[in-house]
Amino acid sequence: MLRPGIERRFKVDLEAFGFVARTGELWSAEARRLRLVEVIETLGRSVAVEMDLRLEAAALSEMAENTKDDPDFRVPRVEWDYTARNVLTMEWIDGTPLSDRAALAARNLDLPRLGRALVQTFLRHALRDGFFHADMHPGNLFVDAEGRLVAVDFGIMGRLRPEERRFLAEILLGFITRDYLRTAQVHFEAGYVPAHHSVESFAQAIRAIGEPIHKRTAEDISMAKLLTLLFEVTGLFDMRTRPEALMLQKTMVVVEGMARTLDPQLDIWTTAEPVVREWIARHLGPTGQFEGAVRGVTEAGQLLARIPGLLQRALRVAEQIDLATCRGVALTSEIAAWEREPWRLRWGMIALLVILALLAWAAS
């Protein structure tokens, strides 16, 4: 249930954050690179979702569908008949808080396995589903009687588009395999680093981050540390902040911290590798390429199906132009009317050019 007055308090806070962000971008090039205003707008959209508990229930329901076959993770069932804008009712969860390590150990649970399951579950949701719980702190996670992780509080969720998932997977695989050139190329292909920079120089900077990490023992290899160093390096190459990735990075750091609490010896790269390789094989391997080709054929078919309608529209436009040309007086009056409203002329010409361009492309 929403606390009384919480919406007004969030509104005041967001307005204050927005003022600071706009002022910062006005006076600081670094603030513009960090895209502070867009970051606050992203936060505002997230808060708006949190203020309507029906939307949180919908997020919970969507994640339940995505994870119904996952062996190590589940979410509570929503009681829709008792859910409204200000009230969310869901299944009662009996479980041990993930923050209570002593209680988990007293249940003779395999804590290292739980740590691995936590990391792999988060990466699976981000890569496979493009939809992840972005507030996975210890207070929001429990372990049920079957030893499965159970998450609650779905007010803050993150989404990744297919291209962002590919970027994440290739970046992680690049660091896992120490392929720094490919890691750099992915940044350029995604448009995250301006094209005037050198791919090789950026790969060299990434190597300076990756090599020291790989030479350390497993318990000292930190994804949080890598993200911090990568953030510092990207400033040298004018890489702008990606607001859609901020929640991912923040949650990744929190998840890693919880996993290390369960298993101080956890190797984050060895744990992440199976999930990353599975996604790469599924989406960038032969199967993924075949499915991509099928989608391309489908889209082409949809465009071809629209061509007759486009031709008819073009013919009608041509007939109207021809008729107007024969009726010189009428044409003159029409032009005069359009000159009085120049926006009509501009948008009319743009529409005609778009139609002709589509026809030319389809015929090529």
Residue 142 has pLDDT above 50, yes or no: yes
Domain membership flag for residue 112: yes
Q: Are residues 269 and 332 in the same domain?
A: no
Q: Are residues 322 and 175 in the same domain?
A: no
Long-range pairs, 220-225, Cβ under 8 A, ≥24: 221/267, 221/268, 221/269, 222/256, 222/268, 223/252, 223/253, 223/256, 223/268, 224/252, 224/253, 224/256, 224/257
Number of domain units in the chain: 2
Q: Are residues 304 and 260 in the same domain?
A: no
Please report where in the chains the tokens 């956890």 appear, as a residue. Answer: 266
Q: Are residues 259 and 293 in the same domain?
A: no
Domain membership flag for residue 219: yes
Active-site residue, selected from the candidate residues 135, 144, 220, 267 = 135
Q: Are residues 110 and 205 in the same domain?
A: yes
Q: Are residues 123 and 167 in the same domain?
A: yes
State how far the alpha carbon of 167 is from the alpha carbons of 21, 75, 162, 212, in Å: 27, 28, 9, 23
Domain that holds residue 356: 288-363
Residue 161 has pLDDT above 50, yes or no: yes
Q: Are residues 144 and 220 in the same domain?
A: yes
C-alpha triplet 7, 43, 11: angle, nearest 5°: 25
Per-residue pLDDT, 112 = 92
| pLDDT band at residue 297 under the 50/70/90 scheme | very low
Q: Are residues 354 and 205 in the same domain?
A: no
Per-residue pLDDT, 355 = 56
| pLDDT band at residue 60 under the 50/70/90 scheme | very high
Q: Are residues 267 and 332 in the same domain?
A: no
- Domain boundary among the residues 284, 301, 336 is at 284
Interval 144-173 mean pLDDT? 87
Say what the pTM is.
0.66
Say which residues have a Cβ less than 8 Å from residue 338's Cβ, sequence separation at least 6.
344, 345, 348
Residue 357 has pLDDT above 50, yes or no: yes
Candidate from 30-39, 229-238, 324-333 with smallest mean pLDDT: 324-333
Please report where in the chains the tokens 């308090």 appear, as a residue. Answer: 9
- Domain boundary among the residues 250, 284, 318 is at 284
Per-residue pLDDT, 247 = 74
- Domain boundary among the residues 222, 251, 284 is at 284
- Clarify whether 135 is annotated catalytic: yes
Domain membership flag for residue 261: yes
Q: Are residues 249 and 277 in the same domain?
A: yes
Q: Are residues 194 and 343 in the same domain?
A: no
Q: Are residues 263 and 293 in the same domain?
A: no
Residue 31 has pLDDT above 80, yes or no: no
